[in-house]
Amino acid sequence: MYESYYGLSDKPFRLRPDPHFFFGSKGHKRAMAYLEYGLAQGEGFIVITGEVGAGKTTLVRNLFRQIESDRIVAAHIVNTHVNADDIVRGVVAAFGLPFEDSASKTTLLARLEHFLRGCDTAGKRALLVVDEAQNLTPRVVEELRMLSNFQSDDKPLLQTFLLGQPEFRATLHNPGMQQLRQRVIATYHLGPMDELETQAYIEHRLLTVGWTGDPSFTPAAHAAIYEFTGGIPRKTNHLCDRLLLMGFLEEMHAFTDADVDTVIRDIQQEFEPPAAAPAAAAPLADATAFDPESAVFANQYPSVLDERMLRLERSMGSVLSILKRIVSTPAGVNQALDE
């Protein structure tokens, strides 16, 4: 909606991970270095943790963009609410192998091993990336470790990267995870960006879609954005997307901290808890525990929110065009009524 108004070639602040917009903050560069180190080693586990929306999936997408497909066969798992048997089925499916419901676990493991040995014969390595690892139970993690036992005469046939939220560290340090910890060759925690990096991040995403300074942001506006988002990329995207949408609707070309505060209040009001139920009814949840930020940013599938926002923007755009014609010319009234 606002892209053409500001002369942009695309939406700069989509919620879904997009390696095209990858920004190398200090933390993201170090995390990428650990992933690249893991690839160079060709064995073991690499563990990357980070807060919700910190950019872990974007790291993976950026890594996949750099991988040479003639050397590495990569698979990516994002659905991790599974049991030990289902994770094997998920790994088989992620590598593009048949995974019919009637197939036993033994059959699936044999199929996977045959595939991995075929990759090795062809001079390729197999890489498995498991996202949202914090949802994995210790039993499922142990199943993934067992897959690393597939080996040729001199090297493992499968390497695994595990990415998750900070609570995955508790699973990793479970007393029963000693064998897995012995196979972890590197771990890194991806923290939020600092204030200067957050401003550079915003400008980087705008420049990627052809920004030439319209709209502009005052230093106080950038400070207000950072104060609300804490340097978390997904939260920054959500706030800036809403800010540009307001700028389009209000025909603004410069944003101040007051404008940022207005958008923040709108976001907070949209996710206020409903009015308290009558005393006779049992409350469904503790209203004081409601976190509007978590309601938006803990979503594991931000692309769904992104598409909903696009549909909403299109609808608002049509209504706004009609209202502008009504206000601008008397003839527009009759035309709008005809429509």
Q: Which three-class secondary structure state does DSSP give residue 189?
A: strand
State residue 69's pLDDT score. 75
CA distances from 179 to 111, 118, 143, 184, 293 (A): 25, 27, 12, 9, 37
Domain ranges in the chain with CATH number 1.10.8: 1-9+193-270
Query: DSSP secondary structure string, 123-168?
Result: T-EEEEEE-SGGG--HHHHHHHHHHTT-B-SSSBSEEEEEEE-TTH
CATH 3.40.50.300 correct for 26-190: yes
What is the Cα–Cα distance from 215 to 211, expressed in whole angstroms? 8
State residue 23's pLDDT score. 94
State residue 70's pLDDT score. 79
CA 142 to mean position of chain CA atoms? 25
Could you state, in chain order, the average pLDDT of each consecutive group of 10 residues for the chain (339 residues)? Answer: 93 90 94 91 92 92 85 92 91 93 91 95 94 93 93 89 94 89 93 96 97 96 97 96 96 96 92 66 49 48 53 59 57 51
State residue 324's pLDDT score. 58
State residue 175's pLDDT score. 87
State residue 17's pLDDT score. 86
Q: How many residues does the chain have?
A: 339
Domain 1-9+193-270, CATH number (from 1.10.3470, 3.30.2300, 1.10.8, 1.25.40): 1.10.8
State residue 336's pLDDT score. 47
The answer for residues whose C-beta is within 8 angstroms of residue 237's C-beta and 6 or more apart is 13, 14, 15, 205
Closest Cα to residue 140, out of 69, 106, 89?
Answer: 89
State residue 288's pLDDT score. 45
State residue 306's pLDDT score. 55
Domain ranges in the chain with CATH number 3.40.50.300: 26-190
